[in-house]
Structure 1
């Protein structure tokens, strides 16, 4: 979400680096794309929030955007589990996915976000969490959050899961160690994510480590540093412990395939998320990691909306991005997904009247609907 961008790239080795020679990748299920042949889960809890948006358009007599909102409500999105009290969100998702699987006869893949590290969001604080390292946070994370999280998924072998691990965390360890809280949290971040990986080793669970986005870690000088950081954590999880791959652009606004190359991307080979995945892939393989990605396209900025990559909060104008799909035209990308539930605020920043992070921001949701990618409205 928050890049250190060009300054970090220059400080860590310049803007040009040769791609490394790949080593044998460590994968969870070989090259089998877990999204292929499955229906991405439509979260009814998020869809219900959009009822407010739908009513707002109806009240204005705007039938076109009323219809658009209805179609958005039928689009898959990930379920966030961001604190201990959110663990029942998993139960609700499992029950809804089982119902959908029974009614449609189509296998469901349920997207979940695992997001409760101690000292979370160390570089900004807009999404700071409930646990603190200095207050036995790591042990609470393991026992009160990861243990029940894993138990719930273990008991749902009739479903497939894609789990996003701790957005922003390892990205901060690559570029923001000059921030005191990030430096102090580093060991906790690594130990916590490694424990989550080790605890979620089930055949029906596919783990995707957060790899920030192209504007943050996609600079040539940052790519090898990021891959080494990821490899360190996976090795800490233990011998034989595996992940499926990595997730990019969580809660950010970068396009997968940019129609217009923004001026601030001039010095980067990772100028959209497809190019970022392609740029990072050989560095991951060199570390023995799997080069598989999912990319969040829940929200995408319109051309010219940002003056720099560092603008991450309630960016405007923006719209709902391309509909979730496995047709990515990039061999290292498993799927386009909607991880960030559009309409939930990034924080009290970026747009007048924005509420705290995670709270519903209907004015913003209406903008996302109006500017949504046309693929969302194709007939099923």
Structure 2
């Protein structure tokens, strides 16, 4: 990925306000239970077994906590994976407690020629092979139908990780220049189709090390405004809740140590990124709400530069999903990228292809979790 930097320092004041009446657009995560993805939990059985084979009962128990009680998002990355939505809805209904609302996290990720700058996560659809039509008719339309039918659940849906980040900064890459118009049209189409009271859309906004530099903030907001305007032309009721940041990346929400490579950025952790971008979004008439992926967080000193994004080591599981963020722009911390799925054949030695299970890596995440995970021991 190509990230443009700036030597210009930017500051953004975040002004809190006290409302006299309840917000007409409340935080969709507030007060809701969260769906725990069992398919991810099944993969963690390997991790638990590996710790138990080493007589490491503490970390086995910590892994069991992730397995049984921490919510992650379900990724839907191809037409064949649309069935994941049906499975997830059925599972969420089983987990749903009487009288308690539940929110389900989903990722929509299947644009034609996706991942134009890196290629590790290239998908099934190609622009030159009727990909955009197939994306709309065979993927987005069916995705929207399945979610809209589940009116008893709420959904937080992350739209197309990394795509609009490439639209902002990577137009010098031929593949991205070609793909950007389709990215914009495709995301606008998805927004227009995924409109319902129980659906809350978060457009991916890359991360602070990519779009958070001072000279990228306004162009980022302008690209988002363009896409939302395109969606409104397709469906006048089109709206988004906000933006997802740090998806599949490694930035801390609140960095304990400011890394040297962030020196000239106002967005040196994800909380600062949300606060820095928010006024530019508001100036475009857009909402300024965020969810921040903390499923994996690099330890201080783990990276020599911000551009390191692949199986970064050492890293750990980050703060647990929570609406307690101490940032008025942030709806929730979330775990979007399931820790343990490889980013690609790069980073930590022995890494498998993107999406494959990397158990040595997830063992590291458990050991380095910050804050440490509470153990869940087997019942006697």
TM-score (norm: length of structure 1) = 0.93
Count of residues in correspondence between the two structures: 365
Counterpart residue number, 1:318: 315
Provide the secondary structure at the position in 1 that maps to 2:215. coil
1:150 aligns with 2:144: yes
Aligned pairs (5 A) from 1:14-93: 15-16=8-9, 30-73=24-67, 74-93=69-88
Counterpart residue number, 1:267: 264
Aligned pairs (5 A) from 1:220-231: 220-231=214-225
1:300 aligns with 2:300: no
Q: Is the 8 A contact 1:160 1:204 kept in 2?
A: yes
Q: After TM superposition, which residue ranges in structure 1, 4 or more long, deviate above 6 angstroms?
A: none
How big is the shift at 1:375?
Answer: 5.7
Q: Structure 2: how far apart are the matches of 1:21 and 1:282? A: 8
Cα 1:300–1:111 shift into 2, 3 Å = same
Counterpart residue number, 2:18: none
333, 337, 342: which is aligned to 1:336? 333
Q: Structure 1: how far apart are the matches of 2:363 and 2:151? A: 37
Provide the secondary structure at the position in 2 that maps to 1:111. strand
- Which structure 2 residue ranges, 5 or more long, are not aligned? 16-22
Counterpart residue number, 2:20: none
Q: Structure 2: how far apart are the matches of 1:311 and 1:204? A: 36
99, 114, 117: which is aligned to 2:111? 117
Cα 1:346–1:328 shift into 2, 3 Å = same
RMSD of equivalent CA atoms:
1.7
Counterpart residue number, 2:212: 218
Counterpart residue number, 2:131: 137
- Which structure 1 residue ranges, 5 or more long, are not aligned? 23-28
Q: Is the 8 A contact 1:248 1:296 kept in 2?
A: yes
1:18-73 Cα offsets, whole Å, 9 max, x none, are 76999xxxxxx843000000012110110110000000001111011011100111
Provide the secondary structure at the position in 2 that maps to 1:377. coil
Counterpart residue number, 1:197: 191
Q: Structure 1: how far apart are the matches of 2:184 and 2:355? A: 25
TM-score (norm: length of structure 2) = 0.93
Q: Structure 2: how far apart are the matches of 1:299 and 1:135? A: 35
Q: Is the 8 A contact 1:3 1:215 kept in 2?
A: no
Counterpart residue number, 1:25: none
Counterpart residue number, 1:369: 366
Provide the secondary structure at the position in 1 that maps to 2:96. helix
1:172-199 Cα offsets, whole Å, 9 max, x none, are 0101000000000011001100000000
1:176 aligns with 2:170: yes
Q: Structure 2: how far apart are the matches of 1:16 and 1:165? A: 30
Greater relative contact order (CA < 8 Å, ≥ 6 in sequence) = 1
Q: Is the 8 A contact 1:75 1:376 kept in 2?
A: no
